[in-house]
Structure 1
Amino acid sequence: MNLKIGNVNIKGNLVLGPMAGVTDLPFRLLCKEQGADLIYTEMVSAKGISYNNKNTESLLLVEETERPVSLQLFGADPVILSETAKRIEDRNFDILDLNMGCPVPKVVNNKEGSALMTDPKLAGEIIHAVSTAIKKPFTVKIRKGFTEATSNAVEIAKIAEANGAAAIAVHGRTREQYYSGKADWSIIRAVKEAVSIPVIGNGDVITPEDAIRLVKETGCDGIMIARGARGNPWIFKHIKEYMETGVKPEKPQLEEAVEMMLRHARLSLQYKGEYIGIREMRKHVAWYTTGYPLAAKLRQQANFIESYEGLEELLQQYQETVRITGGAEE
């Protein structure tokens, strides 16, 4: 199933969701290669762009090969957001998105992210200001609500559509849940039934079966995979294979996982330099090795790697240990 957002035609409906500190350019390139149809960037501060913050520039870098890309902004000031949107519109992205889901205190305390769900009037003003300021499609990513008692995703979705949003992504958790508990997919269905713009479902898509079930239960137009892609860029390819054949693909062999980690590391070094790139790989190594034998010790050791050669050597030693022991604990 293809997704159409505004005037952007997307060949498929599998979406890599935005994750701060995760969906950077190296990781996005790998997910694109593995079958992600639409890619979201990490969220970027509209204020940071307007104040020419040097750290935001790298977040705005989009490669031609990863498109179509949705660039996600966060902020709470309609003027700053709309002016920022105009200023960056000619950059190499296809869709602009507003973060109304981030639960972290430093964002929420600035009335940004999921805090915008507590102020539907302001949310509407922002969406109207930005969608009328630019020609590219403008979308919104929300949660079920700020709290369970104030779940207002349907109200916000209607406001978003009325003010010019071209699509809406819905994470089936409240802000107070953060990432705990289960995502409530029924709220995604309720939003889908309430608006005519495309709805992207998000929350607890970890396996190909989850992806099929999400569409069946909610009728959503797009399937967003976020935490399910950490250490698992293959998930997009596996979902497509499962949809086509009905056969659940096998977890990648350890050798394939090691090869992907090293490619990921080389891309990180290419775009970020060795000092930052290799340190950022530490968490990715932990995610990639989840579920493989004897990985606990490797994850501890990965916290101390400081060079590409160090990572390569560590992974070679790990593979050798698994081969010799047959993956059995000593």
Structure 2
Amino acid sequence: MASSLTIGDVTVPGRVLMAPMTGITDLPFRRVASSLGAPYVATEMVASAELARGRPDVVRRAAVGDGLPLTVIQLVGRDPEAMAEGARMAERAGADLIDLNFGCPAKEVTGSASGSALMRVPDLACRIMEAVVGAVSRPVTVKMRLGWDDTDRNAATLARRAEQIGVQAVTVHGRTRKQFYTGKADWQAVGEVKDAVSIPVVVNGDVLTLQDARDALEQSGADALMLGRGVYGRPWLAARLEAGLNGDTGPDAPDRADRLTLVIDHMQASLDFYGYPLGLKMFRKHLGWYIEQAPWPADPADRRAAKARLCRMDDPEAVARSLSELWTA
């Protein structure tokens, strides 16, 4: 497996990417993951119309900063001109890549004819791609699903049209929208998209381990893979899988001392970014996942109890003290 991925004029220094995830891949998380070797971590999904209107929480989701190997801003919406304006704003903000969301299955997104609902109206999806590609000089990519449901698996057709429009890469989650996250991602079906286009194809869905990564790439023939929920509590996973795919043992998961430092630094970064108390509130999901993924305490019931207790705390210093006691006992 090659050690980089070329998307237009951008070289991604690795082929294990991290997906855009609402409420997860904010700027503090992207910095943490990047510091641990992740070569590509996209922003949260950014609503283009609200970005253009300057809604503060949406602008914050598109935040860029130092310490990132790449800035990838993902946009969602249904209006071509609003998506184009969002892309222009992303480019002015310093985006290296602009990703379009045609894959989100959430009802609040598809209900407004955005996300994976665009796969039901491919002509509108193409107008959006044309508007965005024509609006910016940065490479444009698309993240999609296999289709809306099993009666209309149109990912290969839409990807082919995307390539003709000038999109530089596509990521395909190996499920339909109707599946949401049930069943198993169909990596072989992603191979149909790979066969249909000459631009890079990234396989996404259910990659949690090195063996998953190998199987997903082998079955799909994809050029790279994208991690999603597998990074919860494991922001080092991209670097470990990258190394493993290249025949190296890769960095070990952090030990107690390093993990404690990582978690406290992540909490402080969240507080610095959002302020208190919002920063602690936004961090709690990560704190819970860090505790779940740690092998200490050995008893899972003790870990669950510790998670419940620490995630109710309102004092960041108390959280840090309690976590230190938990992991050094």
Quickly name the TM-score band, shorter chain normalised: over 0.9
Q: Distance in 1 between matches of 2:194 and 2:186?
A: 14
SS of residue in 2 equivalent to 1:36:
coil
* Paired residues for 1:196-207 under 5 Å: 196-207=198-209
Q: Which residue, out of 301, 314, 319, partners 2:327?
A: 319
Could you say which residue in structure 1 is the equivalent of 2:273? 271
Q: Distance in 2 between matches of 1:18 and 1:79?
A: 22
In structure 2, the CA distance between the partners of 1:273 and 1:105, relative to structure 1 (3 Å rule), is: same
Deviation at 1:93, TM superposition (A): 1.4
Q: Distance in 2 between matches of 1:260 and 1:32?
A: 12
Could you say which residue in structure 1 is the equivalent of 2:242? 240
Identity across matched positions, percent: 35
* Paired residues for 1:50-61 under 5 Å: 50-61=52-63
* Paired residues for 1:174-323 under 5 Å: 174-245=176-247, 247=249, 251-291=253-293, 292=295, 293=298, 294-320=302-328, 323=329
| Contact 1:67–1:93 (Cα < 8 Å) also in 2 | no
| Contact 1:198–1:220 (Cα < 8 Å) also in 2 | yes
Deviation at 1:138, TM superposition (A): 0.8
Deviation at 1:165, TM superposition (A): 0.7
| Contact 1:98–1:140 (Cα < 8 Å) also in 2 | yes
Deviations 1:95-151 (A, max 9, x none): 111101111111110000110010011111110111011111111100111112222
Deviations 1:194-229 (A, max 9, x none): 101111111111112222222222121121111111
Q: Distance in 1 between matches of 2:247 and 2:136?
A: 41
| Unaligned 5+ runs, structure 2 | none
- Normalization by structure 2: what TM-score? 0.93
Aligned length: 321
Could you say which residue in structure 1 is the equivalent of 2:173? 171
Residue 111 of structure 1 aligns with an amino acid whose one-letter code is A
Deviation at 1:300, TM superposition (A): 0.8
Q: Distance in 1 between matches of 2:249 and 2:54?
A: 49
Could you say which residue in structure 2 is the equivalent of 1:327? none
Q: Distance in 2 between matches of 1:246 and 1:81?
A: 41
Bigger mean CA deviation after superposition, 255-264 or 195-204 = 255-264
Residue 310 of structure 1 aligns with an amino acid whose one-letter code is A
Q: Distance in 1 between matches of 2:16 and 2:172?
A: 14
SS of residue in 1 equivalent to 2:178:
helix
Q: Distance in 1 between matches of 2:121 and 2:65?
A: 35
Could you say which residue in structure 1 is the equivalent of 2:144? 142
SS of residue in 1 equivalent to 2:93:
coil
In structure 2, the CA distance between the partners of 1:128 and 1:273, relative to structure 1 (3 Å rule), is: same
Q: Distance in 2 between matches of 1:255 and 1:181?
A: 37
Could you say which residue in structure 1 is the equivalent of 2:22? 20
- Normalization by structure 1: what TM-score? 0.93
Deviation at 1:74, TM superposition (A): 0.3
In the alignment, is residue 158 of structure 1 matched against residue 160 of structure 2? yes
Deviations 1:240-272 (A, max 9, x none): 332344548654433333222111101111111
In the alignment, is residue 120 of structure 1 matched against residue 122 of structure 2? yes
| Contact 1:20–1:42 (Cα < 8 Å) also in 2 | yes
Q: Distance in 1 between matches of 2:324 and 2:241?
A: 30
Deviations 1:4-37 (A, max 9, x none): 1111112221211100000001111111111211
Bigger mean CA deviation after superposition, 286-295 or 305-314 = 286-295
SS of residue in 1 equivalent to 2:174:
strand
Structure 1 residue ranges, 4+ long, deviating more than 6 angstroms after superposition: none
| Unaligned 5+ runs, structure 1 | 324-330
| Contact 1:282–1:305 (Cα < 8 Å) also in 2 | no
Bigger mean CA deviation after superposition, 236-245 or 76-85 = 236-245
Q: Distance in 1 between matches of 2:211 and 2:10?
A: 28
Q: Distance in 2 between matches of 1:39 and 1:319?
A: 28
Deviations 1:265-286 (A, max 9, x none): 0111111112111112211122
Residue 52 of structure 2 aligns with an amino acid whose one-letter code is S
SS of residue in 2 equivalent to 1:71:
strand
Q: Distance in 2 between matches of 1:134 and 1:92?
A: 12
Residue 313 of structure 1 aligns with an amino acid whose one-letter code is R
Could you say which residue in structure 1 is the equivalent of 2:81? 79
| Contact 1:262–1:312 (Cα < 8 Å) also in 2 | yes
